[in-house]
Amino acid sequence: MNEFADSSQRKFTRPLDVERGRVDMTHGGGGRAMAQLISEIFAAAFDNPYLAQGNDMAVMPAATGRLVMSTDGYVISPLFFPGGDIGSLAVHGTINDVSMSGARALYLSASFIIEEGFPLADLKRIVQSMARASTEAGVPVVTGDTKVVERGKADGIFISTAGVGVLVDDLSISGDAIRPGDAVIISGSIGDHGVAILSKRENLDFETAIESDSAPLNGLVAAMVEAEPSIHCLRDPTRGGVAATLNELAHQSGVGFVLDEDALPIKPAVRGACELLGIDPLGIANEGKLLAFCPAEKAEALLRVMNAHPLGRDAAVIGQAVADDSRLVRLSTSFGSERVVEWLNGEQLPRIC
């Protein structure tokens, strides 16, 4: 239901003690406390005309074209990390999933599962960050929901967002559309998000200047599809990183990939952290990067468009799709040999998004 609407303009006897207060079970109980939480934290942040309708749902104008919809849950730990927090991530992640079809993202919904005892100050900080991210991306949160669960039944806060977008052009961007010969382009440096999260894990905690790359890719995608509607596929390499995404796409499109290790954009600090921890940057999550696949002859033009966008400044061609019945992802190493890039086994980095 659309709980974030605050049409009643209720007045409460005392404002929420955001500084010291905590979420308790009454905040999920449907009574006055819940109404106050919604009014003072959620409605105050996500102010937009659809939310302001004050109904259990938002009514939006119909869009022409094909509808695109996606949903994602966010359970990241820690909740706040260099370069973002669970709120901005929940906005960026879903906008990016919708955008990978080439669609224009229009609206978001947000659902919060909050653990009893969660500090109101943290909740406010997360919601404000979410609102800021949604404003910056130009995609409003039009409906939402909150639930409070007993202490120990969740870990602070979980957020689930859904996004709706519209495909106006005659695009057919899809994971099964990659053809042998296609260029593989990455929009920027690899592994920043995963390393930023790792650096703040309780039992790891190392000093690094690396920040998460969490960012909304809708603007970059709009520029790309406008310039090159012939793009075959777009995919954001989140959990499992570039390695998992390419293995997945190799199977979906029935091709292989050959990557050039020397061409991979990896920041020295990320490379160093991966080296120390014994992990492969190709297997690490990104939250503001995309992989694009297009006919080789279009690659240069597409790269120019990407490089002109702030989120694609470091975009680079990193390899190509090849005909390969065994659907392998292979890497030509700087050393001069070749190796297979396998999916990694995931439990190394749980709750990365």
Q: Where along the sequence are the contacts to other proteins (CB under 8 A)?
A: 203-204, 268, 271-272, 275, 278, 326, 328, 330, 333-340, 342, 345, 347-348
Cβ neighbour number for residue 272 with a 10 Å cutoff = 14
Residues β-bridged to residue 183: 294, 320
- We find the least distance from the C-beta atom of residue 179 to other proteins, in angstroms, to be 21
Residues β-bridged to residue 257: 321, 329
313's enclosing H/E stretch is none
What contacts 8, CB < 8 A, 6 or more positions away? 35, 54
- We find the least distance from the C-beta atom of residue 182 to other proteins, in angstroms, to be 20
244 within 8 A of 306, measured Cβ to Cβ: no
Of 7 and 334, the one with the shorter C-beta distance to other proteins is: 334
277 within 8 A of 203, measured Cβ to Cβ: no
What is the rounded CA–CA span in Å between residue 78 and residue 91?
A: 17
- Nearest alpha carbon to residue 322 among 229, 220, 248, 250: 250
Of 225 and 270, the one with the shorter C-beta distance to other proteins is: 270
Helix 120-137 × helix 86-99 angle, to 10°: 30
Query: Which token pair is 61?
Result: 């104008």
SS3 102: coil
- Nearest alpha carbon to residue 292 among 252, 343, 341, 237: 237
Of 164 and 246, the one with the shorter C-beta distance to other proteins is: 246
Of 31 and 346, the one with the shorter C-beta distance to other proteins is: 346
- We find the least distance from the C-beta atom of residue 261 to other proteins, in angstroms, to be 10
- We find the least distance from the C-beta atom of residue 334 to other proteins, in angstroms, to be 7
Q: Taking the CA atoms of the chain, what radius of gyration do you get in angstroms?
A: 21
Of 153 and 304, the one with the shorter C-beta distance to other proteins is: 153
**Exposed/middle/buried for residue 174 (C-beta within 10 Å: 0-12, 13-18, 19+):** middle
- We find the least distance from the C-beta atom of residue 190 to other proteins, in angstroms, to be 15
Alpha helices by DSSP H, 59-103: 86-99
- We find the least distance from the C-beta atom of residue 84 to other proteins, in angstroms, to be 24
Of 87 and 194, the one with the shorter C-beta distance to other proteins is: 194
110's enclosing H/E stretch is strand 104-115
